Structure 1
Amino acid sequence: MEKKRMDWSALMAFGMVIMALGASLSDAEISCTEALRSLIPCTPFLVGFGSSAPNVVCCIGVQHVFEQANTTATHRDLCQCFQNAASQIGALPERVKELPQFCNIHVTLPLDANVNCSRIK
């Protein structure tokens, strides 16, 4: 029962992060809000609850996000968006980095909290 309560709390926190960051990418091919919505199914994996691998719906969301991110500006904006969201929901850095591997998806930007987003090309 406690585990389900923690999963729900993480999802609620992620939803609030989405709302708070909603207007941050107005000119991007994919907005911060849309990207975060696509990644909601990844929350249990990213914060360390439940399975040790992301589910199929999560991987579909990851693929959607990275298919829509085609410009340097979008990569930089999404980098900052993801860093902020990951920090606010308490995502485990190693899980964030592992996500593309688990989903068998090549990503075009680093998923690392220590990356300087303004230097991404």
Structure 2
Amino acid sequence: MKSHPRKKAKWEKEKHEDGVKWRQLEHKGPYFAPPYEPLPDGVRFFYEGRPVRLSVAAEEVATFYGRMLDHEYTTKEVFRKNFFNDWRKEMAVEEREVIKSLDKCDFTEIHRYFVDKAAARKVLSREEKQKLKE
């Protein structure tokens, strides 16, 4: 059985005698995330079964967790504890007085909103997806 030599990648081909691995770095600049867009009015967060209106900063962090509900991280106690501690730092004083336990939080509507949004994006044509990126 004959083995074929593996084709080397560009960075593997360039060898310099002085031990330098590369001589040029191309950087296209930092990427800044777009500003946060608040959730639509119909998408609510619940605490102890009651809807709670969150400040923009607290809502933004809540959406991070809501998007991850189907990920195994949200079942890990260390992740949950760290998330809740960090989230409380972004909450307004009034929110901290109400929201005292992650176990009593319900992110279901937030999660469903992002699942539906992703599903809607999947059915778009390549051209429509490109327009959304612009």
> Is this a same-fold pair by TM over 0.5?
no
Range into which the TM-score falls when normalised by the shorter chain: under 0.3
More strand, by proportion? 2
More helix, by proportion? 1
Greater Rg, structure 1 or structure 2? 2
TM (norm. structure 2) is 0.26
